[in-house]
Structure 1
């Protein structure tokens, strides 16, 4: 169960090598989180990240999880929940892709959509049902401001995040009053290994800043978190720009 300050004592990360997820885990371990599950494809990186969290004092376990293997989600995640109640699930897996390449290679584009949306829907529903059964917990979903309005420069990634965002909001409404919180996190450009080589944009942020915002959102039981907060205003304005004008913007 969460402690008196709302901090989770147990955490399941779907996408165990995500830099944002690991920054969140480190921050929560420094508070009261003592049990962490890192779910992801087996790799030296996953084991290395688990060991780093163990060095912080947490009981960390890894579990083989493939976002694209939706048929396995109930079995794999069911075994994790069978080990005991979980206070928080952080859905953090996703692919950015390469827009120019993915437009030329529809199969690559489909893999982004399947990972970011289909895999998230499957895993999200499995976890939501388990959280509802135990009667408490938070499902935190990493979305993106890219899902707010499709842009020419990344509409494949953006459309997949738009679907994920809408799914998470609807799931939150469906679970309202059950004791389960669904929180959608919408970061802007995050400086990580995934975005290395890309030009930074205004209001760029870091994994640590996103982690801090997640912690505050949990404490406040927020439904939506923007990182940085100024993006709420920026994206509200962009949503209402006429399409003829929007397509000429250098974004």
Structure 2
């Protein structure tokens, strides 16, 4: 159960090697979270992440999870919830893709969409059902400002995040009043290994800043969190830029 301040004491990270996911886990462990599940493809990186979190005092477990295998989600995630209540599920998996390559290779584009959207839909619904059954909990979904208005430079990734964002908002509405809280997090450019080598966008942020925003959002029971907060106003303006003008904006 969450403590008196609303801080989760148990956490499931879907995408167990995500830098944002691990930054969030570290922050919540410092705030009394004691049980952490890292779900991801088996790898040395996943085990190393678990070992690091254990040094912070948490009871950390790893579980094999593949976003691209939704037929296994109910079984895999069901076993985790069978071990005890989970206060928070952080949906942190996703791929950026390679826009130029993915346009030329449709199956690669489909893989981006399946990972970021259909895999997330499956996992979120399974977790939502489990949280409803236990009567409490939060689902935190890592969306992106890229989903607010898809740009030429990353419309495949952006469209997958747009779908995820709309789904998560609808899920939050469907779960309203059940005791299950859904929070959509919309970071801008985050400095991670996934974005290394890319031109940095204005208002770039870090995994640690996103983790801080997640914790604050949980305390406030927020439904939408922008990181940094100024992006709320930037994207509000960009949504209304005429399309011919929008096309000429730098990527």
- Under a length normalisation based on structure 2, what TM-score does the superposition of the two structures give? 1.00
Residue 201 of structure 1 and its aligned partner are, at CA, apart by 1.2
Aligned to 1:122: 122
Structure 2 unaligned blocks of 5 or more: none
Asked if 1:32 is matched to 2:32, the reply is yes
Q: Which secondary structure does the structure 1 equivalent of 2:31 belong to? A: coil
The residue correspondences of 1:71-90 to structure 2 (distance < 5 A) are 71-90=71-90
Distance in 2 of aligned mates of 1:248 and 1:49: 42
Q: CA RMSD in A?
A: 0.4
Aligned to 1:171: 171
Residue 199 of structure 1 and its aligned partner are, at CA, apart by 1.0
Q: Which secondary structure does the structure 1 equivalent of 2:45 belong to? A: helix
Distance in 2 of aligned mates of 1:135 and 1:156: 36
Q: Which secondary structure does the structure 2 equivalent of 1:62 belong to? A: strand
Distance in 1 of aligned mates of 2:181 and 2:144: 19
Aligned to 1:110: 110
Aligned to 2:215: 215
Distance in 1 of aligned mates of 2:139 and 2:56: 24
Structure 1 unaligned blocks of 5 or more: none
Asked if 1:45 is matched to 2:41, the reply is no
Q: Which secondary structure does the structure 2 equivalent of 1:2 belong to? A: coil
Q: Which secondary structure does the structure 2 equivalent of 1:68 belong to? A: coil
Residue 248 of structure 1 and its aligned partner are, at CA, apart by 1.0
Distance in 1 of aligned mates of 2:233 and 2:98: 28
Asked if 1:8 is matched to 2:8, the reply is yes
Distance in 2 of aligned mates of 1:96 and 1:177: 34
Residue 87 of structure 1 and its aligned partner are, at CA, apart by 0.2
Aligned residues: 251
Aligned to 1:138: 138
Asked if 1:199 is matched to 2:212, the reply is no
Asked if 1:230 is matched to 2:213, the reply is no
- Under a length normalisation based on structure 1, what TM-score does the superposition of the two structures give? 1.00
Residue 244 of structure 1 and its aligned partner are, at CA, apart by 1.1
